[in-house]
Amino acid sequence: MNPVTLAVFAILFLVIVVLGFASARWQRGNMHHLEEWGLGGRRFGTWITWFLIGGDLYTAYTFVAVPALVFGAGALGFFALPYTVLVYPLVFAILPRLWRVAREHGFVTVADFVAARYDSPLLALAVAITGIVATMPYIALQLVGIEVVIAALGFNTHGPWSEAPLVIAFVILAAFTYVSGLRAPASIAVVKDLLVYLAVLALIIVVPWKLGGLAVIFHAVPAQHLLLPPITPHDWGLQSFYLTLALGSALGLMLYPHASTAVLAAKGTDTLRRNWVLLPAYSFVLGLIALLGYMAYAAHLPSLPALAPYFRDYGPQFAIPGLLLAYFPPYMVGIGLAAIAIGALVPASIMSIAAANLFTRNIYRSYLHRQCSAQQETRMAKQISLLVKFGALLFILFLPTQFAIQLQLLGGILILQTLPAVVAGIYTRWFDPRALLVAWAGALVWGVWAAAQSGFQKSAYTLHIGSLLIPGYIGFYALILNFLLATGLTILLRSAQIHQNRDLTRSEAYSE
């Protein structure tokens, strides 16, 4: 444990804690209303929205997992780049329209929109439960990022008190989220992103210089890690998996509750469109972060005596902290580790708020207490946000980290199956809600079955078409099945003239 590293980390962490609590006074509104606590009063402008969405989508686990995947699997880890490039044109077309409808009708969650668009509380319940289930392991993985940072700081990771720093970080996160709501991660995201940009810039300059240049780094990486295997006449291999994984991830990203919450908190549609133009700057940084996986490989970090124990405990996930410890002075290590830790707190805050909004609006208010007041609704949301974070903490404390990773893999497959109800509903009322509900259930069953074939270790499933093998992302294949079922069943219900076409939203809300 280096005192300079620990001091720098502690000072930066203290700054964001103070900022988190002080955020309750920023753009002050009535924090007894869910729109104020859970959506920041829908008043975030271009820059705050940019930092909020960026801090929301590019999490600490991204900062840890993308280089780890490149370190361990090579070129496949770069799927994150095309998927973040693909997602912005998609959301440019879709989410401003959703924002207008939500603002017009006072919707706080995507499930609110589904309930009104299809006049189907049951379909909305399915969307809400899917969102909550997909979010829980995602929060847990942010805590994995904090756990790696705690180890890199030199704290003992074994023994009865080994989890104390993680619990303290959780308590701080829970406290400022409870008090300040969405305003806390919105303000902290600014600090987080500045630290991330500083750390990545330092890593991308210093590490190649220390290792002798990029040519030396790429020469040290095996050829099979630099390129995907080529397509053969009978097996599309990683090529088709890479493509479907990138496209499926792009489609699913905007459906996560934390993503839609950050979007609905924006001031207006112009704010969102400007953000979709500016946010690819994060994709550029993500590409640099992915390259760090190759740098960690070329540096032979696991063979360094000082780092070997960490790699035994955390594997490739220690690649970025390992580079910091190996090549930087203590103060810079503190800044880099603080960037990862704060990068965990921002998305974890938004995720817990998003899950709380879903439970409160679409389960508590819809089924358990229909006549609840605005104050009761907000109080319940605050309590559920604490419960969600506590559940994520239990994941990390009592279950193997690999279990949380497996559940998050499954969560990505699940959340993608809400796309037909949400995205189709933004543009058309053609689908029958009963058909969407059956298709959602059928796609989920198949997706879980396909993931179970590998013991929830892999997200790929191989289609056999004659002698041709086409591996692909399970979530994407399940989505195709979802659309086919929803379309076929809707056609049957329409032909039988028992189609349910009630719509509680106003048509003028869908136009500019």
**Higher per-residue pLDDT: 45 or 487:** 487
What mean pLDDT is predicted for residues 235-248? Answer: 87
How far is residue 246's CA from residue 414's CA, in Å, rounded to a whole number? 16
Cβ within 8 Å of residue 212, ≥6 positions away: none
Residue 237 lies in a domain: no
Name the residue among 453, 83, 57, 131 with its Cα closest to residue 245.
83
pLDDT in the model for residue 69: 84
Residue 238 lies in a domain: no
pLDDT in the model for residue 420: 95
How far is residue 165's CA from residue 64's CA, in Å, rounded to a whole number? 19
φ and ψ at residue 44, rounded to 5 degrees:
-80, 130
Its domain, for residue 49, covers: 3-232+243-510
**Higher per-residue pLDDT: 112 or 389:** 112
Cβ atoms of 420 and 483 closer than 8 Å: yes
Q: Which amino acid is at 184?
A: A
DSSP-derived secondary structure for 459-482: SEEEEEETTEEEEEEHHHHHHHHH
Cβ atoms of 462 and 477 closer than 8 Å: no
pLDDT in the model for residue 4: 92
CATH number, position 225: 1.20.1730.10
Cβ atoms of 323 and 203 closer than 8 Å: yes
Residue 132 lies in a domain: yes
Residue 262 CA, distance from chain mean position: 12
Q: Which two tokens stand for residue 166?
A: 């993680």
| 449-482 pLDDT per residue, tens | 999 888 888 888 998 888 888 999 999 999 999 9
pLDDT in the model for residue 158: 67
- Position 399 pLDDT exceeds 70: no
What mean pLDDT is predicted for residues 309-316? Answer: 84
What mean pLDDT is predicted for residues 40-66? Answer: 81
- Position 438 pLDDT exceeds 70: yes
Cβ atoms of 255 and 110 closer than 8 Å: yes
Q: pLDDT tier at 253 (50, 70, 90 boundaries)?
A: confident
Cβ atoms of 328 and 344 closer than 8 Å: no
1-5, 83-87, 180-184, 292-296: which has the highest mean pLDDT?
Answer: 292-296
Q: pLDDT tier at 403 (50, 70, 90 boundaries)?
A: low
Residue 400 lies in a domain: yes
| Mean of all residue pLDDT scores within the chain | 87
- Position 157 pLDDT exceeds 70: no
**Higher per-residue pLDDT: 135 or 399:** 135
pLDDT in the model for residue 404: 63
- Position 447 pLDDT exceeds 90: yes
For residue 248, CA distances in Å to 238, 240, 416, 436, 463 come to 15, 12, 7, 19, 16
How far is residue 132's CA from residue 355's CA, in Å, rounded to a whole number? 5
Cβ within 8 Å of residue 465, ≥6 positions away: none
pLDDT in the model for residue 127: 96
pLDDT in the model for residue 26: 74
Q: Per residue, what are the HEC states of 194-237? A: HHHHHHHHHHHHHHHHHHCCHHHHHHHCCHHHHCCCCCCCCECH
**Higher per-residue pLDDT: 162 or 414:** 414
pLDDT in the model for residue 363: 93
* Domains identified in the chain, total number: 1
Residue 23 lies in a domain: yes
Q: Which two tokens stand for residue 169?
A: 């970080």
Q: pLDDT tier at 159 (50, 70, 90 boundaries)?
A: low
Residue 275 lies in a domain: yes
pLDDT in the model for residue 160: 59
Residue 145 lies in a domain: yes
Say how many C-beta atoms besides its own lie within 10 A of residue 270's C-beta: 11
Q: pLDDT tier at 167 (50, 70, 90 boundaries)?
A: confident
pLDDT in the model for residue 112: 94
